Amino acid sequence: MQNNHHQSRRQQFYEQLTDGEALILFAGSAPRKSADASYRFFANRNFFYLVGIFQTESVFLAVKTGGEIEETLFIHKKDPLAERWNGYRISPEEASEHSGVEHVKELDEFDSALKEAVEIGGVSTLWYDFDQFDAGRADAPQNRHSASLNSAYPYLSLNNAYPAICAARTIKDESEIAHIREAMTITRAGIHEMMKSAKAGMYEYQLEAVFNKALADAGVRESAFANIVSAGRNNFYIHYEEPTGMLNDGDLILTDVGARKNEYVTDISRAFPVNGKFTTEQKEVYSIALQVNKELMGLLVPGEVSFADIETHARKRVGEELIAAGFLGKDEDVKKYYWHNGTHHIGLDVHDVGPKGNPIQPGMVFTIDVGIYIEDKNIGFRVEDNVVITGTGFEHLSSEIVREIDDIEAMMS
């Protein structure tokens, strides 16, 4: 059995368990799409973080008694007929190898195992991953199961493991950062190919296909999130996911894209002109966003600033520069052209979990994003980069994805 990062993450969580407590995690299932079709299965992120397998509907149980932890992973049994129709199911041996969990049983044994732990093993407290985004969703497996169990054993205490798991996910280890670097290399290739391929008369979805092909060529099946590839006035829809417009001469293209590698993602935004040359006004506004982006990176000292500090500086400086350039009146609020915050964690999710109010710490990976949207000038875009905080400062993970005006124009020529 290989020593793996998932084991060490579980051991870290177990430090808060006392005797008579148990942790239950659900992998989840593929949501129904329509008729008898389902969306592709996507393992619950906290389940994957701690367990490391992708088998649909799997359940993980850890029970602490006598100061020792007993782990059991429950998965669908091997079934040649089911696999013929729906794809390969991992074996207990493979599940054990990938997860580091010694005991792997069939899924239909979970209920009896938990019943024994409660009625005979003395378990009185259960920890569930009560995801804040599943609050009120009766069909979420942790909500459905905890409600059923609480009805059968009303004396049980229920605790929420979600905050502790999320806090751990906020600080990436070296293996996680390495995965993000790999994803960044692929993202860079895709963005550069889009810059080289863009031309008037193309459709946004054709440019998006260029990015997707670059990912496929690198062995990546799908992007980190729904690609945002827009041009012209479509840039004013921040989360634009219907790329059907045409690229017109004189317009700016906005790409907000990322790759997923070994489950870790990137989130990069770049802007470039359809015809390969920025207009004078486009240069002015773009230069402001890029300048402020660089200034924000200059603030990144671990323990000294929070996301709120970064956002405050961004709004202040964008406002000052837009006023100085004559795009914003002295009495106008910067929010007229500065529409959104630009700092969020990335990792297993593109908007990854983690507190936003705390000072930045080594191991945090997040975005530095400056967006400016001036509708009456038809100039809207964002310059978004990814950084990881180190012991003394930061590493600019996306530094090799071109963003200087001269470099963009040279790449597009």
Q: Which two tokens stand for residue 369?
A: 């994003």
Q: Is the entire prediction scored with pTM above 0.85?
A: yes
> b/e for 254-273, b at 16 or more Cβ within 10 A?
bbbbbbbbebbbbbbbbbbb
Q: Which two tokens stand for residue 320?
A: 């000052």
394, containing H or E segment:
strand 394-396
The rounded radius of gyration (Å) of the Cα atoms in the chain is 24
- Label residue 303 left, alpha or beta by phi (over 0 means left) and psi (-120 to 50 means alpha): left
CA 268 – CA 211 distance, rounded (Å): 12
Per-residue pLDDT of the chain (413 residues; tens, 9 = 90+): 344 899 999 999 999 999 999 999 999 999 999 998 999 999 999 999 999 999 999 999 999 999 999 999 999 999 999 999 999 999 999 999 999 999 999 999 999 999 999 999 999 999 999 998 888 887 899 999 999 999 999 999 999 999 999 999 999 999 999 999 999 999 999 999 999 999 999 999 999 999 999 999 999 999 999 999 999 999 999 999 999 999 999 999 999 999 999 999 999 999 999 999 999 999 999 999 999 999 999 999 999 999 999 999 999 999 999 999 999 999 999 999 999 999 999 999 999 998 888 999 999 999 999 999 999 999 999 999 999 999 999 999 999 999 999 999 999 99
Handedness of CA 156, 162, 168, 169 (dihedral sign): positive
Phi, psi of 21 (to 5 degrees): -115, 150
* Helices 204-217 & 174-197 angle (0-180, nearest 10): 140
Domains of the chain as residue ranges with CATH: 5-169 (3.40.350.10), 171-412 (3.90.230.10)
Q: Which two tokens stand for residue 158?
A: 């229920």
Q: Which two tokens stand for residue 58?
A: 């799997």
